[in-house]
Amino acid sequence: MRLLILINSLDCLGENDAVLSSAFRRIGYEVILGEINTIAADDYRYFTRGVLVPEDAEPYSPGSVAPWTRETYFLDECQLIWVLGSPQARVFRDIWRMLWLASRQTPFVNSVEGLVFLNSKHAMGYLVPKENRAFSYVSNDFSSLWDRYQQAPDQWWVAKPPNSGCGQNVFLLPQNGPNVRTILQCLTGNTVAQSEMDYGGLGGFMADYAILQKFIPEVAQGEKRIIVTCGKVVAWHGRQRHPNDHRSNLTQGGKAVPVDLNANEVALAELIGKNLMAHGINFGALDMAYPYIIEFDLGFPGGLYDTKLVSGVDRSDHVAELIIARFKKHFKS
């Protein structure tokens, strides 16, 4: 059986690329690592540039360069495809459209529809029960966000873009904060200033969307990153924020720590996991400060590798087993 894992770069392997390719090889799969931004078509047969990971390859670490020979691999010659990368902005529409067409013939671990439409903060209200998410207000109009903030002068808020990750541009807005107005203007594209500088808007449409979300005090106690596979919790670790930051993202100085999950946390995570499965998403990560879901990451979520580092337990084989069981009926001999 052949698994194609589509990643960002063969010159800098990600943490999932390392642990998951090793897990599937241990089970006896051929694993190809292909670059998502090189998808192309030969008479409408889609292919990518990639490497076949040797069966006896030594374990490698995140950040490594794939040392094997680059070759061309057709997507329809694989039994399963796993998108663990993100197309660059210039080719975003072309790549996703070609991948959707390829998915008509070959099963994908995570559906193209799910990755395109649900891997966003916009989907929180659709996937997460109301009692398990913070109130949010979404707009690309600065004045409406500013008015909403002013309506609750005793409320702390978080402001952030709906389609970014790794803690980018996530701001904590205190009560009557002196910079709140500026922050909301910045997040929505500084439309007034840009219009003035562009002589009445000749620079084009500038309004960016932003989310104004009620601050959840439970976050101060620490978040938990939970990996769900085929609706089951498979790995988890805690995230402690940097002492000089309100964010707990590991990319922003947060620290992964060992934690336990209680029955309520497992039940909530698996509820969200089953909601995701209904839309073809069989692998993803949730950030939880119970009883709230803070975020989810469906593209190439971190968590498996960090869980191994903090707990000493490698759960990637369990992930591979669940995925194989889920898609076994699709495989060709």
The answer to which of 86-90, 188-192, 263-267, 273-277 has the lowest mean pLDDT is: 188-192
Q: What sign has the CA pseudo-torsion 300, 225, 303, 268?
A: negative
Closest CA to 256 of 307, 314, 312: 307
Q: pLDDT confidence of 333, banded at 50, 70, 90?
A: very low
Closest CA to 213 of 255, 159, 267, 165: 159
Residue 62: how many CA atoms within 13 Å on its side-chain side? 13
pLDDT at 59 over 90: no
The answer to which of 167-176, 182-191, 198-207 has the lowest mean pLDDT is: 198-207
Q: pLDDT confidence of 300, banded at 50, 70, 90?
A: confident
Residue-wise pLDDT tens digits, 249-267? 666 667 789 999 999 999 9
- Domains, the chain, in order of start with CATH, read 2-108 (3.40.50.20), 135-215 (3.30.1490.20), 219-328 (3.30.470.20)
- pLDDT computed for residue 245 by the predictor: 65
- pLDDT computed for residue 310 by the predictor: 92
- Mean pLDDT across the stretch 168-184? 90
- pLDDT computed for residue 330 by the predictor: 63
